[in-house]
Amino acid sequence: MKARRNGKLNIHVQGWLLALPAIVLLATFTHIPAIKTIIDSLFATPRGTKPPPFVGLVQYQSMIADPIFWRALENNLLYALITVPLAIGFALAMALWVNGRIRGRAAVRLAFFTPTILPMVAAANIWLFFYTQDYGLLNQIGRALGFASVNWLGSPSTALPALMAVTVWKEAGFFMIFFLAALQQVPPDLYEAARMENAGRWQVFRRITWPLVMPTTLFVGINALINAFRVVDQVIAMTGGGPDNATTLLLFYIYQVAFSFWDIGYAAAISTVLLVCLAAVALAQFFLVDRKVHYR
């Protein structure tokens, strides 16, 4: 009896001991920094060795008055609003094509999926060349069709959409594989039944495919949304936030304020906003998705 109880106690100690390295590292690099970010946003940026004075919500007041912050937030929301549905739509279309019995399926799948494997920085440099004014491929094609040459990354109206294209190009193939897996789970007799009823293609998609891949769509959507708030590589590699802050996104602005201007208090305040955005996504997932997805 006593030995048994010892063994049980042992489990509690052993469980914590096994998790200890992970707990220490996670606390050091996730939980404590997340809390410190919020605390630091209430202080001025430290100058010299003196501890910085407490300033309350002053950082947030200057944030509200900072047009670049609003620009970054607006750009980021636009980025999410446009790239997430586009990437999902393309991914689903790709999956439907690759899942069907078309000729050259392997090659088509390869073309869709390969961008996913590339490092974003490499992809960004390739697209820089693709977008080059005058002699880049995009402008060459445009000129052949009779359009004037466009400075895609140099003008404020096209720079952000140009970056979005790179994101969609890279993400769609990745999301495709999740839809492919979902499509392969659809019982074939459902399609069989639809054929007996002489259902049209669109009807089959609306009534069978779309509802059955819904959980995947939500899963992919949440991931795409989180990614949209963490976009930064292509901004650094392609535009540096320009022209005129047209491509400044939240994480890029944090990077700039923290590591170019060394304004730590202000960077902490913007980081807090980003944390709040991510928390909102997490809550949405918890309340919306988890309820809808688990009808299986």
Partner 1 sequence: MKQPLSLSTLAAWAFALIWALPLLYALWAAFHPSAYATHFDPTSPLTLHNFVRAWEAAPFARYFLNTIMLVLGIMAAQFVICTLAAFGLARWKFYGADLLFALILIQLMVTPDVLILENYRTLQEMNLIDTLTGVGIPYVASAFGIFLLRQAFKTIPKELDDAARMEGASTLQTIWRVYLPLARPIYVAYGLVSVSYHWNNFLWPLIVTNSVETRPLTVGLQVFASVDQGVDWSVICAAALMTSAPLMIAFLVFQRAFIQSFLRAGIR
Q: Which residues in the 250-289 window bind partner 1 by CB under 8 A?
A: 251, 254-255, 258-259, 264, 267-268, 271, 274-275, 278-279, 281-282
CA distance 166 to 159: 11
Residue 205, interface with partner 1 (CB under 8 A)?
no
Check binding of 191 to partner 1 (CB under 8 A).
Answer: no
Count CB neighbours of 152 within 10 A: 23
Number of residues counted as binding partner 1 (CB under 8 A): 86
Of 6, 61, 85, 137, the one binding partner 1 by CB under 8 A: 137
Q: Which of 57, 81, 111, 284 binds partner 1 (CB under 8 A)?
A: 111
Dist. CA 69–CA 209, nearest whole Å? 41
178: its two tokens: 């999740």
Residue closer to partner 1, measured from CB, 26 or 57 = 26
Phi and psi at residue 98, to the nearest 5° = -70, -25
Distances (CA, A) of 162 to 83, 186, 226, 241: 11, 36, 20, 13
- Name the residue nearer to partner 1 (CB basis): 80 or 274: 274
Rounded CA separation 224/273 (Å): 19
Binders of partner 1 among residues 58 to 97 (CB under 8 A) are 93-94, 97
- Closer to partner 1 by CB, 15 or 156: give it: 15
Work out whether 47 is an interface residue with partner 1 (CB under 8 A). no
Nearer to partner 1, 6 or 14 (CB): 14
Nearest approach in angstroms of CB 169 to partner 1 is 7
Query: How does DSSP assign 217-275, residue by residue?
Result: HHHHHHHHHHHHTT--HHIIIIITT-STTTT--HHHHHHHHHHTS--HHHHHHHHHHHH
From 53-61, 75-83, 120-128, 147-155, span contacting partner 1 (CB under 8 A): 120-128
Residue 282 or residue 288: which is nearer to partner 1 going by CB? 282
Q: Are 273 and 70 in contact (CB under 8 A)?
A: no
